[in-house]
Amino acid sequence: MSKAFLFAGQGAQTPGMACELASPRVKELFDIAESVKPGITELIRSGTLEELSKTENTQPCMFVADLAYAYAEEEQNGAPQAACGFSVGEIPALVYAGALTVTDGLRVIIKRAELMRDAGNKRGGTMLAAVGLTPEQAEEAAASCANAWAANYNAPKQTVIAVSQESEQKLAGIIASLGGRAIKLKVSGAFHCPVLNEASEEFGEFLNGITFSKPQIPVFANLTAQPYGENARETLAKQMCSPVRFTDTVANMLAFGIEEFKEVGPGKVLTGLVNKIRA
């Protein structure tokens, strides 16, 4: 049976995640992470949910946890034939597939987190999941507000909208008027939207100094819903300010021949979305 690993994204973080894993490969991962970002092990083990939910902490901690769970899953049940990461999870997916080294992946995730934190501090904003609405209805709701954009196409009846703080309450009301529920995400800014255009450009410049290799298994990109190709730097840089096309990605992975999806990371959010997409 063809299997894919799904690398969890921001919002799935939990205190102590992956600390129950103790294989030599996982220990080496934590050692490398500690050498690149001293204190990260203690932050993962003992940090509060509030501390772990700060963007500059969430992203590198999720990177380590996702990879640790992937290594443990491979050791127990074998390697996958493809991979996909949701937003921040795309970087550990690329590392797992051999496109980046662990050290470079950490450097990339730390820079990404800093840029997104700074953009959030400068521009503010948040993200609301429009549950129960079609993508078209969610796009209609976003278009009815100033500074609101459909950002994450999670499932046929769940689209996340990035929105400014000034428009948040109006957007929630419009979602409700269309028959949906607005659920606020545990994030510190409006991500995957034009608010991050400048940060995306700076991230792209940073990525010019990073060595990318050809992935050893297909890694399906949030930006295109297709496997990464030759322009990995541009794809990864644009991902930051572009919608996550998870519904299309899962559909394309099914067409590719993937039969089983295994979420690697804390929680089962992505597995739940896959079940809704396949329904």
Active-site positions?
87, 192
Residue type, 162: A
Residue 53: what are its φ and ψ, rounded to 5°?
-90, 0
Using alpha carbons only, what angle is made at residue 102 by residues 100 and 105, rounded to the nearest 5 degrees? Answer: 60
Q: How far apart are CA 92 and CA 89, in angstroms?
A: 6
Q: In what order do the strands lie in the sheet with 219-220?
A: 219-220, 82-85, 3-7, 260-264
Between the alpha carbon of residue 125 and those of residues 9, 35, 76, 167, 190, the distances in Å are 19, 33, 41, 9, 5
95, HSE (Cβ side, Cα atoms, 13 Å): 25
Q: Is 114 helix (H, G, I), strand (E, B) or coil?
A: helix
